[in-house]
Amino acid sequence: MKLTIDGREIQARPGQSLLDLVKQLDMEGGTLTDRPLAAKIAGEVFTLNYIPVRQKEEEADRPSIRRAMAASNGEVRLLRYEDTAGKECYIRTAQFAMFLAIRQLWPEARAKMNCTLGSSVYIEVVGEPGFSASRLKQKVVDLVREDIPLIRRRIPLREAVERFDTDGQTDKSRLLAWREADYYDEYVYGSFADYYYGEMMPSTGYLSVWDIIPADGGFVFIYPDDQNPEVCAKVPSMPNFFAVFNEGERWCSLMECETVADLNDLTTSGRIRELIRVNEALHEKHFSQVADQVCERKARIVMLAGPSSSGKTTSANRLATQLRVHGKKPILMSLDDYYVDRDKIAPGPDGKLDLEHINTIDCGLFRRDMGQLLAGKTVELPSFNFRTGRREWRGEKLTLSPDSVIIVEGLHGLNPAMVPDNVDMDLIFRLYVSPLLPLNLDDHNRIPTSYLRLLRRIVRDYETRGSSVQKTLSMWDSVQRGEKRWIFPYQEHADVIFNSSTLYELAVLKKHIFPLLTAVEPEDACYDQVRNIVKVLNFVREADVDDEIPPTSLVREFIGGNSFYR
């Protein structure tokens, strides 16, 4: 079969892998930046160990062309570290190497994925007082040098469950018990077997850029820098973020809901309704505490920021309600109204407008308006017309009373460029909102915060904007690039980091999102993204408990029925 790999044609013989063909074309690359890590074929991501044309044993003279190859007409796009899917393959391979190393050095230790810190991840290690990050690092170096092939195999599900049970890995056996398929895919080396719900690189030798540093209770595994993959990323100091995440884990333990298997047990027993009530009470308590701090500081402006689908709008409204309890007169504002006219924004190198860039906001006008309001002056506020792409003036004027508190919601709320000149910083309260979900699939597979936000956004965009799954996913990489540049660098500067996740919402969101995802065809460009979402949701038991979710809940911002929008 004739293939076209990154624009170059080559004849694939039966039994040849994509890696064989890449080597034949001399396209291996000498650095992580240009080295192919995986391949995309007809909307799906495949390991480079994938064989495009198989030879049927019973029909030696009739080679079998794989379904994806037929659907793509032989078109193959190689994925590198700059591609999201390529980076994910790299991270999965790193996970396999680090957990394999721990198993070989300390067979009785329990290693658990905890949380991400920029382009790194914190791994907790328990049950092994002799754990050493330096010994682990050397062991991973050895495994990389061995260049262990990463070959996936398929086994009966029952066999996998029994083996993990016998091995003491009940986190995995309990999770797999909820799997509906009767098989399980895994990667194996010696007596060690594991899986990370997606493709990997061909071998451990591909792990060329990484590091391990010690941390309290475990270690931090560092990935390549997104901007320059030839060097390790810097590990940011994030004590506030880490403290909030640890608090979330403590609540997981108290509510007996640390993994998806725990959530499923609560759903089937009906106790998920109690989980919902406690989650919502916890949020209300935290909003009340934030309002207390705002009033104690005598702050006049709350700058509220957070990544996409973190629940900023509902958070602003709920905080406003709590401020009213203190006798305050909250005023809700949006940074969106300070957008620069679309025709005044210079397009980026790709010819498109980067609407998440700080230059799309008239920072000078915002600083001046806030400064004048704090000085007791009257200001006419702008309003941005998204249909025309232009700012308008509708005669809306504002003067602060002694009890007024402005709550400004927006992407760039924590950016120093938003702070009025020569202002008393006690008057500005900075609030960062993000759903820092502490729920894991199992010890070796955490559910990223970005995963929950993407689910929320898909549901909301469909329910309220009529957007398809394909459209939402097509924008997601750009959204995340903007967040990494304009939100995450400032999150640690917040006076309060508010965890807007709920432990129950995966079970609720599944009912709303699953029909949308399963309608996406394999040939669709976003199919692999959809498949990765479904891989996690396949383990989640759907919960039909919308009637238990209050109308002011953050979850209502995405599934509908939010009283703040009526």
Amino acid 55: pLDDT: 72
What is the reported pLDDT for 61?
47
pLDDT band at 65 (very low <50, low <70, confident <90, very high): low
Q: What's the mean pLDDT in 292-306?
A: 97
Query: Comparing 2-80 with 239-565, is the CATH topology the same?
Result: no
Give the pLDDT confidence score for residue 524 in this predicted structure.
Answer: 85
| CATH superfamily to which 239-565 belongs | P-loop containing nucleotide triphosphate hydrolases (3.40.50.300)
Give yes or no for residue 57 having a pLDDT over 60. Answer: no
Model pLDDT, residue 242 = 86
The amino acid at residue 490 is Y
- Residue 62 scores a pLDDT above 70: no
Most confident of 355-359, 364-368, 520-524: 364-368
Domain ranges of the chain: 2-80, 239-565
Residue 346 has a pLDDT of 83
Flag whether pLDDT at 333 surpasses 50: yes
pLDDT (average), residues 128-143: 97
**What's the per-residue H, E or C state across 326-364?**
CCCEEEEEEHHHHECCHHHCCCCCCCCCCCCCHHHECHH
User: Rounded distance, CA 347 to CA 354, Å?
Assistant: 7
Beta bridge partners of 185: 154
Write the DSSP string, 187-221.
EEETTEEE--SS---SBGGG--S-EEEEETTEEEE
Output the average pLDDT for the chain: 92
| Range 10-31 average pLDDT | 94
The Cα 198–Cα 48 span in angstroms is: 13
Mean of the pLDDT values across residues 438-446? 93
Q: Which of 489, 300, 280 is nearest to 401 (CA)?
A: 300
The yes-or-no verdict on residue 138 having pLDDT over 60 is: yes
Residue the block writes with tokens 């027993």: 269
Per-residue pLDDT, 60: 47
Q: Across residues 55-62, what is the average pLDDT? A: 53
- Range 305-318 burial, b when 16+ CB lie within 10 A, else e: bbbbbbbbbbbbbb
Averaged over 267-289, what is the pLDDT? 97
d(CA 132, CA 411): 41
Cβ atoms of residues 478 and 471 within 8 Å: no
What is the value of pTM for the model shown? 0.90
**The pLDDT of residue 151 is above 90:** no
DSSP-based three-state secondary structure for 558 = helix
pLDDT in tens, 161-172: 999 999 889 999
Burial of 29 (0-12, 13-18, 19+ CB in 10 A): middle
56 pLDDT more than 70: no
* pLDDT mean over 469-486: 90
In which band, very low, low, confident or very high, does the pLDDT at 417 lie, cut at 50, 70 and 90? Answer: very high
Strand pairing category for 428-434 and 496-499: parallel
Q: What is the pLDDT of residue 64?
A: 61
Span 98-126, pLDDT tens digits: 999 999 999 999 999 988 888 999 999 99
Q: Given the structure tokens 């129950």, which residue do they identify? A: 504
pLDDT band at 371 (very low <50, low <70, confident <90, very high): very high
- List of residues 6+ apart from 504 with CB closer than 8 A: 263, 266, 272, 275, 276, 279, 543, 545
Residue from 403, 368, 365 nearest 384 by CA: 365
pLDDT tier at 368 (50, 70, 90 boundaries)?
very high
Of 143 and 60, the structure prediction assigns the larger pLDDT to 143
Question: Which fold, 2-80?
Answer: Ubiquitin-like (UB roll) (3.10.20)
Mean pLDDT of 192-211: 94
Q: Give the mean model confidence (pLDDT) for residues 47-70.
A: 73
Q: Distance between CA 409 and CA 342 in Å, rounded? A: 20
For residue 63, pLDDT beyond 60 = no
